[in-house]
C-alpha cells in the first residue's frame, strides 16, 4: 500500500512558524507522530539556502552529532533543523551554549513528537530562548481551503480523522489499515522510545477503554480495577497519552457561580480516526450506527475549535444538578460557549436557557451538521462547523 503524499497542503501554522524563525533563536514545532511536522518544516526551510536538516531516527545523522558542539560550531551560520529531538535530550544544554554564543533569530528549528512538558529539558535549559508551536493533524479549515468541493461536507474528515495518510488514503479500508498500523507502532515503538516501560498489551487495553469512555469523566478507580493496577498508575498512563498528543484532558470550569460544579475532568481521544479504529469503526455507516457517534462528533468539533483558537483557555461546564455545556473557551473577559449535536435537528435540554443565564457567555453556538446557520436567539447561533469557524475567526 502506498501512503506517500503527492503534494503539499498548506498548513495554517505556516505563517506563525516563519514568524517564529524570524523572532526567536530556537523554535520548537511539536505535535503527534505523522501529523505533518517534517513536511511543514521541509516546506518552510526549502525557501532558504542556509539550512541543514537532521533526523535523529537516521543513524547517519546521529553520528554527525556524536560531537554536537563541534558540529553546531561548523554550521553556526545556518538554520539547524533537528527532527525527533526527544530522542536526543542531551542536546539541549549544547544548543543553549550555541545560542548564548550567538542569539540571532532562526538558529535552531527542533521538531518533537511529545509535548513541552515531556520534553522538559528544552523548557528548562532553553528558557527565554525558545518559542513553542503545536501542529495538529489536518483541520477542517485546512482541507476545505485546499479542496472546497471535496471537503464541503465534514463527515469525511470526522470519520477518518486528520492524520495526513489516513484522510488522504484512496479508500476507507486503506485509511482504516493505516490507522490500525499507527496504533500498533505507537504502542510497540514510540512509547518505549519516550522511556516508558509499559507492556504494549496493557496500554492498548487502556487506550481502548478510553475510547469507550470518550467524552466522559474519567473514573480512575474503575479503570484501575479493570486493568488490575492502582489509581496512581492509571493517572500515569493518562499522562503519557496526553503528553504524546493522543488524549485531551478537558478540565471543568472553575467559576464563581452559585451552583455546585463537578471537579472531575473529561477525557477525549484527540483524533477521531484513531478513536474509530480502536472501536473497529471503518466507515460512516458503521459510525452512525454506533453509540459513540454523538460523543465522537463532540470531540471532533472541540479539536477543530481549539486548533482555531489556540490561545484561549478551554473547559467544560457541568453542575451537580446535571446542567452542562460541552465547551467553554475564555480569553481575558471574553467567554464563548459551545454545544455539539450530531443531528440536523438539534434538541436542547430544558435547563439550557438557565445555564446560559448563569454562565453569561458573550455568544453561544450549537454546532451540528445543519445546512445553513440560523439564530435561535440574538446570542445563540445554530451552525455547521464551517460557519462556526468562520464566525470565530471574525471574533478573534
Task: Using pLDDT thresholds of 50, 70 and 90, give the confidence band for residue 373.
Answer: very high
Cα 93 from Cα 349, distance rounded (Å) = 55
Has residue 8 got a pLDDT over 60? yes
Q: Is 117 exposed, middle or buried (0-12, 13-18, 19+ CB in 10 A)?
A: exposed
The answer to whether the CB of 128 falls within 8 A of the CB of 99 is no
CATH number for the domain formed by residue range(s) 14-134? 3.40.50.300
Quote the pLDDT of residue 361.
96
Q: What is the mean pLDDT of residues 340-366?
A: 92
The grid cell for 194 is: 519516550
- The pLDDT of residue 6 is above 60: no
Percent of the chain with pLDDT over 70: 95
DSSP 38: H
Per-residue confidence at 321, pLDDT binned at 50, 70, 90? confident
Contact by Cβ (8 Å): 247, 210: yes
CB 30 within 8 A of CB 109: no
Q: Per residue in 97-120, pLDDT tens? A: 999 999 999 999 999 988 777 666
pLDDT digits 0-9 by tens, 133-187: 999 999 999 999 999 999 988 999 999 999 999 999 999 999 999 999 999 999 9
Query: In this structure, are residues 287 and 267 in contact, taking their beta carbons and an 8 Å threshold?
Result: no
Give the containing element (helix H, strand E) for 365: strand 363-367
5-14, 198-207, 333-342: least confident range: 5-14
Specify burial of residue 286 (Cβ count, 10 A radius: 0-12, 13-18, 19+): middle
Does the pLDDT value for residue 3 go beyond 50? Answer: no
Q: Residue 90: exposed, middle, or buried by beta-carbon count in 10 A (0-12, 13-18, 19+)?
A: exposed
Q: Residues spanned by CATH 1.10.10.10 within the chain?
A: 152-395
Tell me the CATH number of domain 152-395, given options 3.40.50.920, 1.10.10.10, 3.40.50.620, 3.20.20.70.
1.10.10.10
Burial class (CB in 10 A: 0-12, 13-18, 19+), 100: exposed
pLDDT for res 34:
94
In what side-by-side order are the strands of the sheet with 51-55? 51-55, 79-83, 108-112, 26-30, 130-134
Least confident window among 13-17, 115-119, 137-141, 371-375: 115-119
Q: Which residues contact 178 (CB under 8 A, 6 or more apart)?
A: 1, 3, 163, 165, 166, 169
Average pLDDT taken over every residue of the chain: 91
Q: Is 378 helix (H, G, I), strand (E, B) or coil?
A: coil
Q: pLDDT class for 4, splitting at 50, 70, 90?
A: very low
| Range 366-373 average pLDDT | 94
What would the mean pLDDT of 78-89 be, rounded to a whole number?
Answer: 90
In this model, does residue 340 exceed pLDDT 50? Answer: yes
State the pTM of this model: 0.93
Question: Using 50, 70 and 90 to split pLDDT, how confident is the model at 2?
Answer: very low
Provide CATH 3.40.50.300 ranges for the chain: 14-134
Are 30 and 134 in contact by the 8 Å Cβ rule? The answer is yes
Amino acid at each position: 500500500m502506498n501512503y506517500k503524499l503527492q503534494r503539499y497542503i498548506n498548513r495554517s501554522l505556516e505563517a506563525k512558524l516563519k514568524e517564529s524563525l524570524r523572532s526567536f533563536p530556537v523554535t520548537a514545532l511539536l505535535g503527534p507522530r505523522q501529523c505533518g511536522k517534517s513536511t511543514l518544516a521541509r516546506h518552510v526551510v526549502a525557501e532558504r539556502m542556509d539550512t541543514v536538516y537532521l533526523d535523529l531516527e537516521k543513524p547517519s545523522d546521529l553520528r554527525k552529532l556524536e560531537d554536537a558542539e563541534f558540529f553546531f560550531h561548523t554550521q553556526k551560520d545556518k538554520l539547524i533543523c533537528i527532527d525527533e529531538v526527544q530522542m536526543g535530550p542531551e542536546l539541549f544544554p549544547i544548543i543553549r551554549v550555541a545560542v548564548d554564543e550567538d542569539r540571532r533569530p532562526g538558529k535552531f528549528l527542533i521538531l518533537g513528537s511529545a509535548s513541552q512538558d515531556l520534553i522538559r529539558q528544552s523548557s528548562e535549559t532553553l528558557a527565554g530562548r525558545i518559542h513553542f508551536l503545536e501542529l495538529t493533524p489536518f483541520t477542517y479549515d485546512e482541507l476545505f481551503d485546499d479542496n472546497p468541493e471535496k471537503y464541503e461536507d465534514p463527515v469525511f474528515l470526522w470519520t477518518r480523522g486528520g492524520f495526513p495518510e489516513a484522510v488522504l488514503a484512496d479508500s476507507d479500508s486503506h485509511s482504516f489499515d493505516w490507522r490500525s498500523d499507527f496504533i500498533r507502532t505507537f504502542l510497540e515503538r514510540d512509547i518505549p522510545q519516550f522511556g516508558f516501560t509499559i507492556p504494549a498489551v496493557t496500554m492498548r487495553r487502556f487506550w481502548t477503554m478510553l475510547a469507550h469512555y470518550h467524552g466522559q469523566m474519567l473514573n480512575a478507580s474503575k479503570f484501575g480495577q479493570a486493568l488490575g493496577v492502582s489509581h496512581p498508575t492509571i493517572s500515569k498512563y493518562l499522562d503519557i497519552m496526553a503528553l504524546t498528543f493522543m488524549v485531551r484532558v478537558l478540565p471543568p470550569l472553575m467559576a464563581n457561580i452559585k451552583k455546585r460544579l463537578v471537579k472531575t475532568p473529561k477525557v477525549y481521544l484527540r483524533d477521531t480516526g484513531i478513536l474509530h479504529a480502536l472501536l473497529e469503526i471503518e466507515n460512516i455507516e458503521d459510525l452512525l450506527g454506533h453509540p459513540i457517534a454523538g460523543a465522537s462528533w463532540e470531540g471532533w468539533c472541540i479539536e477543530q475549535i481549539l486548533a482555531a483558537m489556540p490561545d484561549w483557555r478551554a473547559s467544560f461546564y457541568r453542575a451537580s444538578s446535571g446542567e452542562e455545556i460541552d465547551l467553554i473557551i475564555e480569553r481575558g473577559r471574553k467567554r464563548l460557549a459551545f454545544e455539539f449535536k450530531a443531528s440536523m435537528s438539534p434538541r436542547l435540554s430544558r435547563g439550557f436557557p438557565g445555564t446560559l443565564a448563569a454562565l453569561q457567555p458573550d455568544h453561544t453556538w450549537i454546532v451540528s451538521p445543519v445546512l445553513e446557520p440560523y439564530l435561535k436567539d440574538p446570542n445563540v447561533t445554530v451552525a455547521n462547523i464551517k460557519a462556526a469557524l468562520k464566525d470565530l475567526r471574525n471574533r478573534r
